[in-house]
């Protein structure tokens, strides 16, 4: 007899299920490497990702740095004023 379409006996790849399970358990190339091999692979992947980064020019970097410093100074001033106000309010309320 012929099997019905969509049967669960064999996956779409045409191989029996136990063969597919054995293939999945092996772990590929990463499973065969020791700890030093995995660390070397990680290092190579990090270097490859860093090469993809678009680094800012010197002008852009100085502009970004200036903006951050100005923003931090403004926030420091704001927090100082709020802190001074709260401290005076506490002194007024509690003597």
For 67-87, the pLDDT digits (tens) are 999 999 999 999 999 999 999
Rounded Cα distance between 5 and 20, Å, is 19
User: Which pTM value belongs to this model?
Assistant: 0.49
Q: How confident is the model at residue 5 (pLDDT cuts 50, 70, 90)?
A: low
- Contact between 20 and 12 under an 8 Å Cβ cutoff? The reply is no
Mean pLDDT in the chain?
Answer: 82
Helices (runs of H) and strands (runs of E) counted in the chain: 4, 0
For the stretch 30-53, pLDDT in tens is: 557 788 999 999 999 999 999 999
Confidence (pLDDT) at 92: 93
Residues in the chain: 95
């Amino acid at each position: 007899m012929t099997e019905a379409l969509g049967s669960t006996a064999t996956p779409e790849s045409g191989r029996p299920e136990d063969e597919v399970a054995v293939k999945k358990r092996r772990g590929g190339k990463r499973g065969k490497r020791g700890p030093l091999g995995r660390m070397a692979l990680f290092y190579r992947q990090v270097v490859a990702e860093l090469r993809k980064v678009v680094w800012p020019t010197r002008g852009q970097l100085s502009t970004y740095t200036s903006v951050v410093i100005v923003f931090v100074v403004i926030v420091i001033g704001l927090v100082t004023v709020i802190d001074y106000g709260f401290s005076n309010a506490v002194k007024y309320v509690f003597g």
